[in-house]
Amino acid sequence: MPRERNRRILFISGIGLGQRAAQLLSTLITLPLVLHALGLAGFGIWGAATSLAWLSSMLDLGLGSALLSLLPQAKAAGQSAALHRYITASLCIAACLSLLVLGGGAALWLGGQHLLSAPFLAAVILLALNIPLNISRDIWFGLHKGYIAGYWDFAQTLLTLALLLLAAWWGGGITIMTIAVYAAMLAINAASLAHALLRHPELRPRAPPAIAALREILTRGSLLFAITIAASCAYSFDTLLALHWRGAAAAAQMVIAMRVCTTAIGFLNIITQPLWPEFVEAAAEGDLLWLKKILRHGTLLTSALAIAGSALIVAFGAPVLRWWLHQDMHITQAFLWVMAAWIIALNLPRIAGLYLNAVSELKFQIYLLTAAALLGFILKYFAVKSFGAAGILAATPILWLLIVAPAYFWLAWGRVQRGN
């Protein structure tokens, strides 16, 4: 069984890595295409409207993340009846959330002030419709078949590219270009969910949803959502803080730095995501030897990858950024070192965090990450005075190295040692 788990992890990680590379290649093609088709002003509006796509993984309020633990738990315990109860409960709650978002969008549109322009209205509508469909990816991972989710993600990349090419050829405006991005996401997620339900009849929802399943999904999902929000608050406001404290030039530096850092972390997250359901299965079976091995070796391996990637940023970041941006953003060598530290530090507790999610050690993470985010705001306030935008960026890795990572290691290793 450990060998089978390792094989699944490597295969799913490889598929995810290939899909993310294809997504980056597609971005290199689509961005100049849309810029040429819409012009600079239109491109800015389109970019803002499509940037809301990242909300697709958060609007379900943690329902999909809850399935990453609940589905493999039910499979490991041989509780096949629980599978459809969890899916039914998740889809019902997600449908209600979808109606709430649609209602909010309608209120903004019909309020007489037209607070949402057409591209943003289209984005809100399609994002809302996507909420029940977006859990399909987590269903595949929960079934230990994350490679199928990777195939569907690759199909979404191709469909998005095709629709944008078609829209540009047809002469579509900002709204059409925006719809192309979200329509591809909606269509692929719908096909992925239908695929999962057709291939696994035991998952098919049945009415009415069980109260116990609704309560369990909501409780687990809300805690996981709180962890995501707390972790995001550690760095999501850095650009706004740079703008407020140091002006537009510092904010521009922060935009570039955060894009590079979050892209690097995204690659590492794709590689490690398959560990979550495997941790659930191993914990249910009491395979402590495998858990200890993966916690130790997984952390060392991902840290080595983070260090290698960060070394490339330090060595070649300055000329590559000038080539990419066609101008000098005055990102110094010291700033590049801070970016490298950011990537390494935020990746450090990743494996331990996936294990803690798998064994439902959630409230500790919320308290810890919330405290780190609050301390971060204080540290950034003082650091920016001496070090500028680089000081704002440096606050998060400092806290992750001194507080967050040691606390995660301590709790995760303690849980494995106790065997619970």
Give CA–CA dist 32/377, Å, rounded: 36
| Percent of the chain topping pLDDT 90 | 36
Q: State yes or no: pLDDT of 412 exceeds 90.
A: yes
Say what the pTM is.
0.86
Q: State yes or no: pLDDT of 353 exceeds 90.
A: yes
Q: Locate the domains of the chain by residue range.
A: 1-222, 233-420
pLDDT of amino acid 24 = 78
Model confidence over 159-217: pLDDT tens digits?
999 998 898 888 778 888 888 889 999 999 999 999 999 999 988 888 787 788 889 89
Model confidence over 282-309: pLDDT tens digits?
888 888 999 999 999 999 999 999 999 9
Q: State yes or no: pLDDT of 76 exceeds 90.
A: no
Model confidence over 14-41: pLDDT tens digits?
888 888 888 878 877 777 777 777 776 6
pLDDT of amino acid 212 = 84
pLDDT of amino acid 329 = 65
Model confidence over 54-64: pLDDT tens digits?
677 778 888 88
pLDDT of amino acid 352 = 95
Model confidence over 212-268: pLDDT tens digits?
888 989 999 999 999 989 998 888 788 778 877 877 677 777 777 887 888 889 889
Q: State yes or no: pLDDT of 115 exceeds 60.
A: no
Model confidence over 144-162: pLDDT tens digits?
888 999 899 999 999 999 9
pLDDT of amino acid 263 = 83
Mean pLDDT calculated for residue range 361-388:
91
